[in-house]
Chains A and B, each alone.
Chain A
């Protein structure tokens, strides 16, 4: 078994592009669900809006990349408004239903044959739309060490990505510790009480939905840029639920939990996969039990098992406070 390779792959994944994408998606959800109590089950939709805004603007309309980011943010604000205006006055579960449906509508529209020439249909859009971004890369030779390795492009995405994660996390910290954040947390507890104290609950919920959505669309930018392609089926509901997993893993309503949650999530997936792959190839696991082709599915089973154990023995997540969780029972 090649342990060095396992370490290299695992480390690369733990701080890699996917971790950044999931951390950002989960930071957005943390704003929605963790702090405001909004059940957004359509975070994948916000990522799709971000990713497609960039790819379509550049590839189909020839708009400069950096302007396409602004378009992406604008689009995600519009998406949040469309979701929020009819549902935020209603009970929380309505938002859940509407968001999960809206995210699916976006994916179905993106993969429909009707808009094939603009959105690329089920194949999505591949190309060089990230060229302007990668042209700025000062580390074109990449990173090559025995325990960690990134290609030039990946290294640039990872560096810029972590800077963005750090900035957004800092801003989140400032926001949730302000009186504004206090109103959000109060809304999460009981919005009627907050109304009775003279706060415009609807406005705060809308602000929260927009901010979390914009952060989600930034995750979409990273997703699209890192692969220089967008594919509709990457933005299915599974993405939303993985982002929730990341958030719960770290512990909801904690600023750092999306980051640590995403790291653990990708560490586990890649570590389990690489270990299994190595063990099967080396013959430690007999072929009749697990074949090389089955490793991909089995890692998710083991991942699920690991998450179950975590939720049983540490239901509050890594950063959560068990005392606080008990309070939720409305004793």
Chain B
């Protein structure tokens, strides 16, 4: 069986599955339950500076969107950092770490953007025996209004400055958590690297309103008739997170910067995908808030089985394996021609492929009187929409045309050569294809 032991910026854990800094890691009770369930590590919910703790709203903190059968697809929260006293959290962190020395315990921090504030908190965290710290530069609601969280994460210079303060004042590895509420994720990642960060973690939550209460005319979640944007997470944000991880992983400046992948990780497969794009480990929150801590058992067994099947003996074997295949549009091979193929045996004759293609695409699917659906190869541009709307997995597939085979649509034989936009005759600014 594959060895899932993970080492991330020198922090060891029995598996690469950590719980993200969030409500599930707010107190000792929860974290002990998580470790008993098998989680490899936790990032303790964000601590603030000494003094009266922040307060949370006393109405709903979460909003959600749902898929079929009320499956939770996206969650939004307006909870702030821990609302429990600093000393209590520190005592609990120390106690948990003592009892679970093999698990990763990283502490998330958010204090005002002043070096003294960071100088004050770092030693007391270090004293707990925690394995590292994560700088919360991502929290998009509440704390950002007070100049912390995303307010720092949206300014690369601040990220660099605070990271540098932390590196100068602690022996612990520093992970910088990035907000996705920016235009280009590479800039804050580069800033963290310049500040000396050991790693970045991403994504934090996305500014969002999950819905509008049409009776009260208020955004959801609603507090006394008002609402505010909260942080969006869960399966719905995974594609955004995967892209941001990949952008950092393939950026030459940050290519060697370790990444802890966050954003909608729900199954072992999600974790493997983040790691294939360059994440050294993953952090999970919404999935456990939906299903409880037990899901880690499936993540462990699933990742092990997949690694065995692929012959990977350690998680490091496949981290970043997919990164080289993330490229720019201009390098995609325009001579690669595919056509949709509908498997009549698997087809349940719902006709969604037909409606989608006929109404919104290229009129490339024919429908017979008796509901047999066939692809018109002379019209099919291989857009993949039929594949995406078909309710039966693998009923519609894409067939790659062999070199030399006639593309009925263009009436040109398929070229055996790679050819991208840069060398395309329609390109007004052609460059030699490499």
Partners in one complex: no
